[in-house]
Amino acid sequence: MRLKNIIAAVGCALITSQAIAQKPENILAAAGSPPNPKVTVSWNRYYDYAGITDIVKKLAAAHPDLVKLESMGKSFQGKDLWVLTISDLKKGNADKKPAMYIDGNIHSNEIQGSEFAMYTAWYLVEMFNAGNKYVQELLADKTFYIAPTINPDARDNFFHKGNTANSPRSGMIPIDNDRDGLMNEDGFDDLDGDGHITTMRRKNPNGRYKVDPTDPRRMILVGQGEKGDYELLGQEGIDNDGDGFVNEDGEGAYDPNRDWGWNWQPNTIQGGAYKYPFSIPENRAVADFVMKHPNIAAGQSYHNNGGMILRGPGAIEDVETYNAQDIRVYDALGKKGEEMMPGYRYIVVYKDLYSVFGGELDWFYGGRGIYTFSNELWTDYLYYAKNVTDQRTPYDFDRDLLMKDAFVDWKTYNHPTYGEIEIGGFKKTFNRLHPGFLLESDAHRNMAFSVYHAYHTPKLRVDQIEVKDIGGGLKEVTAMVFNERIIPTHSSQDLKYNIEVPNIVSISGGTPIAAMIVTNKDLNITTEQKTDPANIKVSNIPGNGNVTVRWIVKGGSKYTINVESKKGGTASGTSN
């Protein structure tokens, strides 16, 4: 009888679920959004590693013709480093199409990069499924490689342990940073066990701080000669090692964004560097993946915060690396990004921020010739959609729009060193991280910028094929290869160091006996390729530009021209 009741209850639940399920006829699609996605994801929250794994597996299962899921390696603690291949898998080999690589969460507290990366994958496949022709054409031509988190161990640490908005940045490899014999000792302690490391304050009639009379949550510095009511004791913590000091030993840490094999410097010069370039397993896995995918022409790494679209160089020593031709490409893309993302600024790392040696951004460009940005997600502009500098603004925003959910109210705590104190302050999920209602909005704008970047990877076409009979059974075949997009097949950095092989333009339909590149068609100036005339090696097809090639061919009357480019994909054309 009990089993029957259970079955009946399950049946009722299924009927109820079906009754309230969204049906296409009940939905009016909002412009620019998938109306009835196969995979439903709430984009107003954050997901730990298990949550990310669940989402990417569901995307791959629901969209087998658009999504391939694989692990590109293991984290230090053995977690799979998931990477999604997003493309129309029915239309060409995804690894032969011009590609965009996206990752997030290289720093463990910069977590929204993972949601932004996953949103990009989700949006593309669900809009494709909804019949959006722009996305369908995009995925027919392009491939996206999307790695939601490349620091999953430390991500879970940030989620499930007490942390501030600023800690930790590192991965989870044990390090004795201060050489006291303890590995990765926690400098902070979550005194009240709420998962957030907030601020400690103690009453003091001669303190330098007082409670803001307009907002009791906020502490303000008193004026000259004025006595305060409190002293601030720093962030939550105790004397872990019995030396009489609290929080003086921060968690031993390295910085995963100082580990890349371009202009790498040791820890004595670049704080946070580990043993040697690519000594961190997660970074090594990313580098191996990129090396195996020479079709990657564009890159995006999501960080936080400050509302910035960053390009290299990371240090002044690399100013000459970023030459004028490539900077023009960066400028065209970056300035468009400023239009698409209100409050975001397109800037140069070393000039507008600080020096970074061994950064991912510079390795992608300097080492692989890939046009790469690093978007610093979240900007104060998003508080009230205007530029703000007032220190009260975060408190006002929390009160006005978040119903004071971002602040842990002050409470009394008996500290083993300081006696009776109070602890309180903003949660770790505020200031650097998007509130829920802004998460999807900013994810969409950043996604759109990455799609714009990917759209402008090379798109080649062959036309203007001219066939001229020159006598003696010979034909002169001339063809023009166009690149319709901003990004060339080879960046100047690529050409400087011969990073990638040249483009190959080949002919079939006859026997080529001579081949040349036409440098001036009007004046009939050419440069002959004296070997292998069937396959002309073209070093570069510029953005929004073209290259003209010519053969002298014996036999045949109809000729097919094929182009193969590692970063530009393939194209073909046939003479009339």
Give the whole-angstrom CA distance, residue 65 versus residue 545.
Answer: 33
103, 378, 309, 446: CA torsion to nearest 10: 60
pLDDT tens across 196-244, in order?
999 999 999 999 999 999 999 999 999 998 999 999 999 999 987 777 7
Q: Looking at domain 460-574, does it have CATH number 2.60.40.10?
A: yes
- Identified catalytic residue from 376, 440, 500, 564: 376
74 in Cβ contact with 80 (< 8 Å): yes
Position 182 confidence tier, pLDDT thresholds 50, 70, 90:
low
Contact 407, 425 (CB under 8 A): yes
Tokens 């910035």 correspond to: 308
CB 65 within 8 A of CB 88: yes
Domain boundaries of the chain, sorted by first residue:
43-157+255-378+435-455, 178-252+391-429, 460-574
* pLDDT surpasses 50 at 6: no
Six-digit token string for 268? 């004595």
Report pTM: 0.94
CA 284, CA 267: separation in Å to the nearest integer?
18
Q: Is the pLDDT of residue 111 over 50?
A: yes
100-131 b/e with 16+ CB inside 10 Å = b?
bbbbbbbbbbbbbbbbbbbbbbbbbbbbbbbe
Q: Where are the beta strands (DSSP E) in 398-521?
A: 407-415, 419-426, 460-471, 474-483, 503-508, 511-520
Three-state DSSP at 154 gives helix
- CA distance linking residue 464 with residue 554, whole number of Å: 20
CA distances to 328, 541, 554 from 475, rounded to whole Å, are 40, 25, 6
pLDDT in tens, 431-478: 999 999 999 999 999 999 999 999 999 999 999 999 999 999 999 999
State the Cα–Cα distance between residues 157 and 177, nearest whole angstrom. 18
Confirm if 469 and 475 have CB atoms less than 8 A apart.
Answer: yes
Q: Which residue has the higher pLDDT, 489 or 6?
A: 489
Question: Which pLDDT tens digit goes with each residue over 312-368?
Answer: 999 999 999 999 999 999 999 999 999 999 999 999 999 999 999 999 999 999 999
User: Residue 376 catalytic?
Assistant: yes
The answer to whether the CB of 551 falls within 8 A of the CB of 477 is yes
Residue 193, pLDDT > 70, answer yes
Q: Is the pLDDT of residue 17 over 50?
A: no
- CATH of region 43-157+255-378+435-455: 3.40.630.10
Which comes out higher in pLDDT, residue 464 or 185? 464
